[in-house]
């Protein structure tokens, strides 16, 4: 039997050169599932995504998904993509094993926490306040640069990384500190800023909104003193007071101290994000 991909819609184009298309997974022309391919809007037309891969129950555990992923990679190569990314639910053990077997490397995780009705108490022994406009003018370009450098350190080209950073800040902070739903707070010790946390509200899944930690950082000289935990509790308090019962975040898998902090605070992994070079 031969497993192939058959387009189920015309090839879609975007103004910035992106592409997307949904395919049926077929065995000898019989449809057994579907998959959506697209170029990553955050990284440009040379980075591909495989999304919504589904194989119908009667045809599972027969290698259909494996062949479909390999066929999808060939399509993305034909589009000029040099890498491909996938996001797999943390509970999907078989899909995670398939990704590893096909050479995908975990890059990051999405995590979430259900918040209690009562918000956490404010951090003890520290001054907590909103970021000022003067501080924002210094922080914003530095945060944008830091975000780009995080991706560059993980193999993303400088052009792609900086384009993603620019697009993210343009989308998420169109009015700076006055952006609706946005809160950027700092924690200060002895009158000196020790760190900051940036939260907002976003849709995690269709119809499911949650608070979201977009950025958190502790001053290098102030690390190891519990400020990271204090900032995360501040984020949770801010989100709970805004009426949200969930809080989510994204963390790079190799950032072990951050992963351990989030786990200790009760965050659980929802999606594992992996990538692969297309040679």
Q: How far apart are CA 111 and CA 262, in angstroms?
A: 8
Confidence of residue 48 (pLDDT cuts 50, 70, 90): very high
CA distances to 59, 211, 216 from 201, rounded to whole Å, are 39, 4, 15
- Confidence at residue 106, expressed as pLDDT on a 0 to 100 scale: 95
Q: What is the CATH number of domain 113-272?
A: 3.40.630.30
Sign of CA dihedral 73, 77, 79, 84: positive
Q: Percent helix, strand and coil across the chain, each rounded to 5?
A: 35, 40, 30
- The pLDDT tens digits for 62-78 are 999 999 999 999 999 99
Mean pLDDT value across residues 128-140? 93
Task: Tell me the sheet residues that pair with 86.
Answer: 50, 274
For 162-187, what is each residue's pLDDT tens digit? 988 999 999 999 999 999 999 999 98
Contact 156, 103 (CB under 8 A): no
How far apart CA 251 and CA 259 sit, in angstroms, is 7
pLDDT of residue 226: 78
The CATH architecture that domain 3-81 belongs to is 3-Layer(aba) Sandwich (3.40)
* pLDDT at 122 (0 to 100): 65
Q: Is the pLDDT of residue 34 over 90?
A: yes
Conformation bin of residue 176: beta by default, left when phi > 0, alpha when psi is -120 to 50: left
118 burial type by CB count under 10 A (0-12 exposed, 13-18 middle, 19+ buried): exposed
> Which among 212, 19, 237, 217 is positioned nearest to 117, based on CA atoms?
237
Average pLDDT of span 136-145: 94
> Does the pLDDT at position 215 exceed 90?
yes
Do residues 202 and 212 make contact, with C-beta atoms less than 8 angstroms apart? Answer: yes
Note the pLDDT of residue 208: 84
Band of pLDDT at residue 219, cut at 50, 70 and 90: confident
Residue ranges, CATH 3.40.630.30, the chain: 113-272
| Predicted local distance difference test score (pLDDT) of residue 46 | 87
Give pLDDT tens digits for 185-214: 998 877 788 899 999 999 888 888 899 999
């Amino acid at each position: 039997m031969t497993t192939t991909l058959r387009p189920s819609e015309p090839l879609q184009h975007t103004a910035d050169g992106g592409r997307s298309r949904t395919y049926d997974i077929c065995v000898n022309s019989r449809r057994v599932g579907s998959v959506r391919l697209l170029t990553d809007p955050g990284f440009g037309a040379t980075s591909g995504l495989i999304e919504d891969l589904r194989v119908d129950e009667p045809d599972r555990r027969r290698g259909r998904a494996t062949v479909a992923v390999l066929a999808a990679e060939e399509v993305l190569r034909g589009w000029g993509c040099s890498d491909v990314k996938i996001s797999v639910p943390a509970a999907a053990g078989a899909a995670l094993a398939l990704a590893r077997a096909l050479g995908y490397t975990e890059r990051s995780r999405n995590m979430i926490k259900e918040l209690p009705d009562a918000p956490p108490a404010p951090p003890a022994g520290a001054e907590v306040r909103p970021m000022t406009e003067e501080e924002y003018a210094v922080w914003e370009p530095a945060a944008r640069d830091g975000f780009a450098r995080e991706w560059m350190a993980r193999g993303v080209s400088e052009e792609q990384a900086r384009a993603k950073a620019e697009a993210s800040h343009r989308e998420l902070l169109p009015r700076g500190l006055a952006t609706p739903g946005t809160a950027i707070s700092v924690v200060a010790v002895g009158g000196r800023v020790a760190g900051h946390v940036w939260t907002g509200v976003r849709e995690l899944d269709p119809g499911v909104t949650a608070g979201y930690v977009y950025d958190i950082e502790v001053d290098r000289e102030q690390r190891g003193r519990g400020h990271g935990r204090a900032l995360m509790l501040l984020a949770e308090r801010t989100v709970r007071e805004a009426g949200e019962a969930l809080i989510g975040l994204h963390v790079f898998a190799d950032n072990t101290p951050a992963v351990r902090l989030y786990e200790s605070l009760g965050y659980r992994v929802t999606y594992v994000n992996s990538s692969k070079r297309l040679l």
